[in-house]
Amino acid sequence: MLEVIIAIFILLSLVVYALMGGADFGGGMWDLLAFGPRAKRQREVIAEAIAPIWEANHVWLILVVVLLFTGFPRGFAAMMTALNIPMTAMLLGIVLRGSTFIFRKYDVKDDSVQRRWSTVFGVASFFPPFFQGVTLGALATGRIRVEQGRVLTGFMAGWLTPFALACGVFALGLFAFLAATYLTVDSKDEPLLQDDFRLRSLWSGLALAPIALVVFLTSKQGAPQMFHGLTRWWAPVLLSWTSVFAAVALVALWLRRFTVARLAAIGQVTLILVGWGLAQYPNLVTPDVTVSNAAAPQFTLRLLVIALGFGAMLLLPSLAYLFYIFKGQERG
Amino acid sequence: MNDFLFARSQMAMSLAFHIVFAALGMGMPLLMAIAEGMYLRTKQPVYLNLCRRWAKGAAILFAVGAVSGTVLSFELGLLWPNFMEHAGAVIGMPFSLEGFAFFAEAIFLGVYLYGWDRVGPLIHWLSGALVAVSGIFSGIFVVTANAWMNSPAGFKMVEGKILDVDPIAAMLNPASFHEVLHMTLAAFVATGFLVAAVHAFFLLRDRNNLFHRAALGIALVVACVCTPLQILSGDLSARAVARLQPAKLAAMEAHYRTEAGAPLLVGGIPNDTALTTDYALRLPRGLSFLITHDPNARVVGLEEFPRDQWPNIRIVHWSFDIMVASGTVMFVLTVCVSSLWLKHRRLPDKTWLLRGLAAAGPLGFLAIETGWVVTEMGRQPWIIYGVMRTHEAVTPMRGLVVPFVTFTVVYIFLAVAVAFLLRRQFLQTASAVPDQPAGAADA
């Protein structure tokens, strides 16, 4: 029971990480892809939107990791062994993205060094989402086999399959869409700029449909247990709600109802990850490592749940305050 | 080198890099909170200006600290999966709590760095203070986990399985208190001396610059309060290590033979075959006195331990001596600074003292780095002292030379970039009008 509570906390942290941190990576992608007469202004708005919150958003990932290794130490060890290569690539992206973002912000403006920081920042922003998607995909493939805590299938299993790679591309598209949608709200004082982000949001939102289809089709071969999970009773409900949110987001973008679009995009991403979590349950690494067989002793789990309760009481109001200050107030 | 050595090297390099930013992440918020507090009390713009300048530099250090800390949390699993598999349930707790502390730090850092015009002055100061407090808590929790590796508690190991797990007992292990105390003070000492050095350097050129005098004053207060305490905490740590990890203590002191009235050996070349330390400075009965406060006490030497449980004596001994020497120099400087203040109520303005402070800037960090070498290399060959050997914990992954080289290159690049950016900021500071209105410099 306790292990399920911890697993739910991990899933929730992943959802919030995708909604917050994922959008920050998406912002980095749009920074690299900025073009047109307002390219410079696009980059500035992205930087302003990300700057005060990206470190706090990043901590959700740390939370996922520490909950994983405290609550499910065997699962963590297996994941980190089998997926050593994509994880390392993701870390490189995280290091370079974060540091070049801050270097650029505090360096002298508008010289060639500045532009170079900007390029590294943009390129590095593509790494973490892609490899995070690949990792989540790989865990579901069933290709990673673990026996008595030993990974039997080496370091290439799972993550190089078409399904896992498609998951990586899907994560890229999803975060790009999310970021562009948020940015339409962040740029509300500049209609032309807002239009730039609106178009980006529409295009990336539309592009998600064929990628999602590829993920779904490859899952039959590539992640049979997960595919099977998606045929359970709750799946049609969840899938249709996800589609509804996606449609609402696109229509709202088309009609320039940007706050509605943002809410719908949040709903869409949340349901996608919750759906993934439900289809993956009870496996951590399909099929050998599960929530129950990888769990830490009860005493540890109980303490962890208590700590999470207290942590949430202290941190959630603080986090709400941070967002209220930088996202809630009218600028002026 | 084999994969095991590359794994150890990558971990060592990642820690050595991160600890600099982590220590500054604990120390800088304290300095900034003092400066901003002085501004709120005195309303002198120079303090606000100072605080905003420091905050700009600190923003860079925090970001690099955050991402290099993330790397470490993953590397625990990427390099030492077997360690985490066994230790996760026992010692994951302080890491989780550290996660919360880091969360609070990141949240209030956002408010602090970007909220100058969005929140009231008192709330702003409070956010800074919360960054400082949560930074200290993160340090405490992480060091607790390290203390457990040195002095494991809160579980039973039966046939390779960890049983009777008690994470609270693990956190309150016998090494926690002295390790936490020593590292927290070290962060303040090192930050204080580094910041003092930068401003002493500029004061050498312009003795009456109000901005740099205010900065030097705040940095020296922190350094002068914490350095003497650190000497005491060092004594406490050494005596605890003698009790908990006698092999590590013997390696620190290059003490091969068990003897009563053992001399203290400074420097020298430890010789593992002859069991002697050649060319060392010998202080008769010094070691016995320091460890037990009794000059005739018997101190256990390395000969009591099987060879395969010896750490690398030379590295541990020399690192220990470098740490102690750095600490001693810093202590002498704080005595000079404090007596100048107590007698004449003056900040250092003599050229020799300012030069000394400017030159001593890196010593705190030298002491931190060598101190961690003592802790970590001195624990070898164990990853969990007496329970699990480091080579049992390493990942089966091959080709670890690749991530090692990659991360080394990236970290060197980051170190150069950070140095370059901070230097540029310092030079801007140097050319700034001493007491210009606050905020104008950021425009």
Q: What is the pLDDT along chain A (332 residues), one digit of tens a residue?
A: 899 999 999 999 999 999 999 999 999 999 999 888 888 899 889 998 998 889 889 999 999 999 999 999 999 999 999 999 999 999 999 999 999 998 888 776 666 777 888 899 999 999 999 999 999 999 999 899 998 888 888 899 889 999 999 999 999 999 999 999 999 999 988 999 999 999 999 999 999 999 999 998 998 888 988 888 777 788 888 889 999 999 999 999 999 999 999 999 999 999 999 999 998 888 899 889 999 898 889 999 999 999 999 999 989 999 899 989 888 755 43
Q: Return d(Cα B83, Cα B388) in angstroms, integer.
A: 8
In terms of CA atoms, which chain A residue is nearest residue B119? A325
A90: closest CA of chain B, how far (Å): 10
**What pLDDT was estimated at residue B159?**
80
Angle formed by the axes of helices B121-150 and B81-114, nearest 10°: 170
Residue B1 is given by DSSP the state -
Shortest distance between the Cα of A153 and any Cα of chain B, in A, equals: 11
Q: What is the per-residue pLDDT across B164-182, written as a single tens digit (0 to 9) for each?
A: 889 999 999 999 999 999 9
Tokens found for residue B429: 């500071």
Q: What is the pLDDT of residues B256-293, one digit of tens each?
A: 999 998 999 999 899 999 898 999 899 999 999 999 88
Is B261 touching A (CB cutoff 8 A)?
Answer: no
* Interface with chain A: mutation pick from B6, B71, B100, highest number of A CBs within 10 Å: B100
Q: In the structure, what pLDDT confidence band is assigned to residue B432 with cuts at 50, 70 and 90?
A: low
Residue of A nearest to B86 (CA): A73
**Residue A260 to residue B134: CA distance in whole angstroms:** 36
Among A214, A212, A26, which Cα is nearest to A121's? A26
- What share of chain B in percent tops pLDDT 90? 76
Please give the structure tokens belonging to residue B51: 């605080």
pLDDT the model gives residue A110: 61
Instruction: Write down the domain spans for chain A.
Output: 2-328
Contact by Cβ (8 Å): B28, B56: no
pLDDT, chain B, mean: 91
| Segment B360-389 mean pLDDT | 94
| B144, pLDDT greater than 80 | yes
Residues of B in contact with A312 (CB under 8 A): none
Reduced to 3 states, what is the DSSP secondary structure of residue A285?
Answer: strand
pLDDT of residue A231: 75
Q: Is A146 part of the contact surface with chain B (CB cutoff 8 Å)? A: no
**Closest-approach residue (CA) in chain A for B106:** A56
Residue B36 has pLDDT above 70, yes or no: yes
Q: Please determine, for residue B70, whether its predicted confidence score (pLDDT) is greater than 60.
A: yes
At residue A175, the pLDDT reads 96
Q: Rounded to whole angstroms, how far apart are CA atoms A9 and A5?
A: 6
Task: Please indicate if any CB of chain A lies within 8 Å of the CB of B73.
Answer: yes
User: Residue B439: how many CA atoms within 13 Å on its side-chain side?
Assistant: 5
Alpha helices, H only, B115-209: 121-150, 167-171, 176-205
Give the model's confidence band at B439: pLDDT under 50 very low, under 70 low, under 90 confident, else very high: very low
Which token pair is B409? 């290159």
Position B442 pLDDT exceeds 70: no
pLDDT of B195 above 60: yes
Is there a contact between A100 and B64 (Cβ–Cβ < 8 Å)? Answer: no
Q: Best mutation site among B85, B116, B127, B406 for testing chain A: the one with the most A CBs within 10 Å?
A: B85
Question: If 0-12 CB within 10 Å is exposed, 13-18 middle and 19+ buried, where does residue A192 land?
Answer: exposed
ipTM of the complex model? 0.91
Helix or strand run (H / E) with residue B312 = none
Residue A278 has φ and ψ, to the nearest 5°, of: -65, -40
The C-alpha atoms of residue A270 and residue A217 are separated, in whole angstroms, by: 21
Residue B43 · residue B388 · CB < 8 Å: no
For residue B195, give Cα distances in angstroms to A68, A165, B184, B413.
Answer: 38, 48, 17, 23
Residue B150 has which token pair? 């040195």
Identify how many contiguous H helices and E strands chain A contains and give both numbers. Answer: 13, 4
Q: What are phi and psi of B205, to 5 degrees?
A: -85, -35
- Asked if pLDDT for residue B428 goes beyond 90, the answer is no
pLDDT at B344: 87
Yes or no, beta carbons of A300 and B90 under 8 Å apart = yes
Q: Tell me the percentage of chain B whose pLDDT exceeds 70.
A: 97
User: Considering only residues 85 to 104 of chain B, which have any Cβ-Cβ distance to chain A shorter than 8 Å?
Assistant: 85-90, 92-93, 95-100, 102-104
**In chain A, which residue's Cα lies nearest the Cα of B120?**
A325
Taking 3-state DSSP, the helix, strand and coil percentages for chain A, each rounded to the nearest 5, stand at 80, 5, 20
User: How far apart are the C-alpha atoms of B63 and A54, rounded to whole Å?
Assistant: 10
Give the distance from residue B174's alpha carbon to the nearest chain A alpha carbon, in angstroms: 20
**Average pLDDT of B306-331?**
95
Nearest CA in chain B to A151: B396
The answer to whether B358 and B204 have CB atoms below 8 angstroms apart is yes
Q: Please name the member of A55, A84, A107 whose beta carbon is closest to the beta carbon of B110.
A: A55
C-alpha span between A14 and A181 (Å, rounded): 20
DSSP 8-state code for residue A326: I
Instruction: From chain B, pick out residues whose CB is under 8 angstroms from the CB of A58.
Output: 66-67, 70, 106
CB contact under 8 A, B96 and A79: no
Global pTM value = 0.91
Q: Give the per-residue pLDDT at B366.
A: 97
**Residue B61 to chain A, least CA–CA distance (Å):** 9
For residue range B106-141, what is the model confidence (pLDDT) as tens digits? 999 999 998 888 999 999 999 999 999 999 999 999
Alpha helices in B80-120 (DSSP H): 81-114
CB contact (8 A) between residue A80 and residue B114: no
Whether the CB of B383 is below 8 Å from some CB of chain A: the reply is no
Q: Flag whether residue A293 sits within 8 Å of chain B, measured between CB atoms.
A: no
Q: By the 8 A CB rule, do B236 and B243 touch? A: no
Select from B420, B354, B60 the least CA-distant residue to B215.
B354
The answer to whether A102 contacts B64, with C-beta atoms less than 8 Å apart, is: yes
pLDDT tens, B286-301? 999 999 889 999 999 9
User: What 8-state DSSP symbol labels residue A37?
Assistant: T
Task: Determine the pLDDT at residue A109.
Answer: 63
The Cα of A166 is separated from the nearest Cα of chain B by a number of Å equal to: 24
